Structure 1
């Protein structure tokens, strides 16, 4: 069965290890002998394979498992007392039954968990040719010193855990950390530090260990309870729970093979089946186009890689079908599409515009300024004031779907992607400051009831695959703030609001409700009117930057130019994010939604940005001809765009991998973060660029060359296959635009009804001040840097108490000038429920 599916490979590997591995396999998935495992099954397969690979040897398995080659170093505590107590409360809340009620005497139910103790376990994999036993004592002590981080050497132990085995069966130890196939950002940075300290380390991972103790006299923790507690302390996309100490980082997980989809034999049904199983979000127009492309023009069956590529490159997220589509409203065809309407003001008043509606940002004319530049660009030297013309840049985007599924990583990578949009404008530009915004549904803060909020219920449902509005508001803002703080970008402005309401039904006007409310509950909900709420949130991220006038225009591709990738290595994350973001909420499988969320590494982004900045500082010697940030669709979008319209050849084995088990589709389509694609001329420019990357310890690779045959050809030297071979125009060309039929519906309204006799001024004011959009935003401003860089003249806080009330943010062009950029953000979405035109004006 080897090679038929990831799960089948795991079963085969487990059989070779032997019964001593203690491996249980739940199921294998396959369809007509081809790999058709779901996203969830892939993760199960990886866990099965890695569990077998790292399990302690037992009867029949001793010969198959080598002695451990990982060093274990423990440090306590992972969490301080206050953090551990908060985690204990979260676990108790998760384990409490929904029907938990006070006891007969009115007392609150007893806590299930009495204590949580924590520690860190560092797994150290020595570099090839080095062993722990062979290291000099001084080198060993140097590593221990790096991992101690404190003046408490007694809290660090080599090989001995501080969490003794449970003295009884009421406690459980949970250990979680990065999957074996996922080299974490921590490891990348830790290995760099060790190399600088002369410690030969290949990989160093930080695992987290928790001892969860049940209340005295309570029953032992069940497997389900332990699993529920573990779910609260790890990211199931990139991390796993280990049952025994790791022996090796090696994994037996096999990549999913590329298949051909039988379109010639089965027609549209084959495409529709692939779309459903892989979450490709093809509509009828997409299926018709693909059928014509492969049956009538290419005359062959497509590969799974090609169909996945099309789903990303031609998704709503990437091509803006709705904004560029033909609008038919109440049977009347509109003269302009929405994108033309949005662009119209710029056409009428464009006197200071440098870049608009192309490239990765908008740019207006700036100033001639004295800026600090290296005296010898690209080499160690002092900084000297140098006159340069720097234009003013603004970019903005939302990262809504990922922030709803996984708020912290979704929002942090929203910030990261927007930062790359900033520095990937022109031939490279500079980041200066950020702006953030969050819109969520009713918060329903426990113990803080607000009369206009509705608790989740059958009549007021929330999707199970999305986080709650309160969780999104807290964790998404944490993620965005955390990323900006680590990167070194100040946030100088923002907004947030919460809203959830049912519109009234007037004179029998038709009303709709969410599809999740069914039966009698759904009928009751519909009778109350249409629900308006941010179920999928808004996570808004914008950035201010500067663009050197000399680098304002991207160079055109030329045959022979090197297609270059720079930044973080490829991982199995962000798979299908472009298509998943384009779906109506609830259409996709929850496991595929999770796969589509990215994970960020702000330190790598900082290194990548330093490379781009160094290229900008070279002035006329800037080796970057053209640059695009890697976003939705990963390589399959950015590498086609960078060499469009000429075409190019790309070799998958040249793409730097953080996970050697990636399939061809995953290398080509994963939206791994902190990565850009560039065009660089061979020879001196390529050598100069490589030196800058090596200086900043940033992975880079020349993965292909620009050709002039208008084809994108992707090859894999491992097996000699060609998983992708299509004309650029077949994927990125003028695909027929889509038509959208819309109908205006009456906007029911009723006169405002207020019980004036019982409403006091104090009560009315109290309600207004409790609105998220009105109340203090200090919970957002205190956790984010607001002035790093020395260029911030005005951020969002004012006065001696730093009250977040500023109407404008101001960023100086340089440390020597009193001119710069002023920016303000305005939003009044709720007014649109009454009058869209008034909303726009306000």
Structure 2
């Protein structure tokens, strides 16, 4: 049954209930919704903007918890609707227009798509925007021959995410041939050379979600037993400092607020996933765009014509992205303490330079105990854990789509690849991981964040040394219309994957429950170097040796030539600087 409430601010609250609500509880809800009135109708007349029916919002999850804490039973969902108008801007990936919403407002009729076996990988690559090269398509066709069956949609999709430029830095690790001459070093090897020549205080670099450097001796202030109310105690520890920075350019270009918010959130999760668990402390953000042309006195910005932007203009991006990054940090509880901004365009020699895709770089600093700065080694029988929020149809193919030029794919694919943030859920998970990491004997064997590629990427990395089996029916489903590929490959935010020994599972689950962090035992390590996502109700979406996913896909080869260009020297007046 659906109940409708309206408050004085013209906000409408749609309440889904499993049974009749007591009159006293109706009065509580009126108070909770800001002196709202109950509209005693079966259908709400008019057009409204509300969340997609298949996506229960984080706001709803929190609201339902509040009603339970108020002693109100039987409420399964609460969503906020606002009246629709022609000029109202809303997020079409998260919201939709409802006309005369009634008792079936949240009812779903779509059935999940079945596992598909791919007969034409090249065509599927184009259809789904997977950014696979011709060499990679040939590699996957050869894998199909070796295993004597067609690859599934999940296997092709998973390979594309795991081996995307975003995840594997194929260009930076690629072979460069310039003017017909093979370069001796890749870009990445040139970057790494600094730490090889001058390791100084480096503890770990280029091998984990974060880098660690030697940190100071410190005193840890933590509860004796984090799974129950207990006294805090002091403990001397030796620390390592975590350092992390990563770009989130494509999502911020396409949807600046959520792109920058999830950029900050993802970078924080990377620092949570360092070694056997590390703790985030403070963040930073860097933005680079074409000229925003906000002020007439900045005359140099008007010397070139602004281009037509596919999604957002530079001024819109700078405002929305800055708000998004700060919003996530504020709600998670990590200050964004510094940053930088560069805007640039230049026209000379009939060539125009500028930022076509915005640069949004999120960075941060944190710490861990030195003995936890390296991951452990999962063994057969260890449990695979997922902590965090439900699965929804967001962030699909983000790793692959982020690896190509913005606008190369249909905008539906590009918008679908952008994640949506839920900082409160991430805070719950961070508190649980912190509690585990601060114990005298940290039970975490390995930990990875769920970034591009979702469960497919995170869990395959967790079990890369040994193999694993995941029961997809154990994964939390927020949207029951998700196909198996969407279920295991989406990048819904605020999830972490962990490997924990069986003997520590009960204690870890108690800690997660105390922190209100959803905790799911989804599988176990197998020791056979095979990855199986098992579907007890149908065909298995992934059933491959890990070597096929992480083996030796074709190396990227980039050929270029040197172009000599001459530009006028910069002229300026020193006294005006």
Assess same fold via TM > 0.5: yes
* Alignment partner, residue 515 of structure 2: 696
List aligned pairs for 1:767-786, cutoff 5 A: none
1:75 aligns with 2:7: yes
Q: 1:717 maps to what in 2?
A: 536
Contact 1:425 1:627 in 2 (8 A): yes
RMSD between aligned residues: 2.1
Question: In 1, are the aligned partners of 2:247 and 2:263 still within 8 Å (CA)?
Answer: yes
Residue 277 (structure 1) aligned to one of 120, 123, 127: 127
2:281 match: secondary structure: strand
Please say if residues 120 and 206 of structure 1, whose CA atoms lie closer than 8 Å, have aligned partners that are also in contact.
Answer: no
Q: Are residue 600 (structure 1) and residue 457 (structure 2) matched?
A: no
Listed as ranges, the gaps of 5+ residues in structure 1 are 1-68, 78-118, 166-172, 213-225, 263-269, 506-528, 769-842
- Structure having the larger proportion of residues in strand: 2
Secondary structure of the residue that 2:502 maps to in structure 1? coil
Partner of 2:526: 707
Q: What is aligned with 2:544?
A: 726
Which residue of structure 1 lines up, in the alignment, with residue 56 of structure 2? 183
- Structure 2 CA distance for aligned equivalents of residues 472 and 76 of structure 1: 33
Matches within 5 A, 1:151-300: 153=35, 156-159=36-39, 174-210=47-83, 212=85, 226=86, 229-230=87-88, 232=89, 234-248=90-104, 249-262=106-119, 270-295=120-145, 297-300=146-149
Structure 2 residue matching 1:638: 3-state secondary structure: helix
User: Which secondary structure state, in structure 2, belongs to the residue aligned with residue 365 of structure 1?
Assistant: strand
For residue 469 of structure 1, what is the aligned residue in structure 2? 314
Given candidates 290, 293, 298, the residue that maps to 1:450 is: 298
DSSP 3-state at the match of 2:284: strand
From 132, 135, 146, the equivalent of 2:32 is 146
Provide runs of 4+ in structure 1 moved above 6 Å.
none
- Counterpart in the other structure of 2:443: 623
Residue 178 of structure 1 contacts residue 205 of structure 1 at CA under 8 Å; is this kept in 2?
Answer: no
- Secondary structure at the aligned position of 1:453 is classed as helix
Which whole-Å CA distance do the structure 2 matches of 1:147 and 1:455 have between them?
52
1:747 is the counterpart of 2:558: no
Return the alpha-carbon distance in structure 2 between the equivalents of residues 238 and 246 of structure 1. Answer: 20
Once residues 371 and 625 of structure 1 are traced to their aligned partners in structure 2, the CA distance between those partners, rounded to angstroms, is 21
Give the secondary structure class of the aligned counterpart of 1:422: helix
Residues 455 and 243 of structure 1, relative CA distance in 2, 3 Å threshold: farther
Q: Is the 8 A contact 1:463 1:586 kept in 2?
A: no
Within the candidate set 387, 411, 422, 1:566 is matched to 387
Please say if residues 64 and 78 of structure 2, whose CA atoms lie closer than 8 Å, have aligned partners that are also in contact.
no
Q: Structure 2: state its 5+ residue gaps.
A: none
The 8 Å contact of residues 136 and 554 in structure 2, kept in 1 or not, is answered as no
Q: How much has 1:708 moved relative to structure 2?
A: 1.8
| Mapped pair 1:124 → 2:15 | yes
Which residue number in structure 2 is paired with residue 815 of structure 1? none
- Of structures 1 and 2, the larger Rg is shown by 1
- Partner of residue 3, structure 1: none
Q: Counterpart in 2 of 1:588?
A: 409
CA distances 1:398-446 after superposition (whole Å, capped 9, x unpaired): 100000000011111111101100111111111110111111111023x
| CA distance in structure 2 between the aligned counterparts of 1:543 and 1:441, rounded to whole angstroms | 25
1-structure distance, mates of 2:482, 2:162: 20
CA, structure 1 residues 697+455, in 2 after alignment: closer, same or farther (shift >3 Å)? Answer: farther
Structure 1 match to 2:160: 311
Task: Give secondary structure in 2 for the equivalent of 1:619.
Answer: coil
Q: Distance in 1 between matches of 2:55 and 2:20?
A: 23
Q: Whole-Å Cα distance in 2 between the matches of residues 652 and 202 of structure 1?
A: 27
Aligned mate of 1:429, from 259, 273, 278: 278
Candidates 317, 328, 345, aligned match of 1:500: 345
SS in 1 for 2:245: strand
The 3-state SS of whatever aligns with 1:579 is helix
- 2:24 partner SS: helix
> Is the 1:124–1:201 Cα contact (8 Å) retained in structure 2?
no
Q: How many residues end up aligned between the 2 structures?
A: 574
Residues 436, 491 of structure 1: 8 Å contact kept? yes
The alignment partner of 1:322 has SS state of coil
Paired with 2:565 and 2:198, the residues of 1 have a C-alpha distance of 34
Larger RCO (CA within 8 A; separation ≥ 6): 2
The alpha carbon displacement at 1:456 in A equals 9.1
Alignment-derived partner of residue 211 in structure 2 = 362
Instruction: Give the distance between the partners of 1:594 and 1:467, measured in 2 at CA.
Output: 13
The answer to whether the 8 Å contact 1:327/1:741 transfers is yes
**Equivalent pair of 2:512/2:519 in contact (CA under 8 Å):** yes
TM-score normalised per structure 2: 0.95
> Would you say the 8 A contact 2:4–2:13 is kept in 1?
yes
Query: Which secondary structure does the structure 1 equivalent of 2:55 belong to?
Result: coil
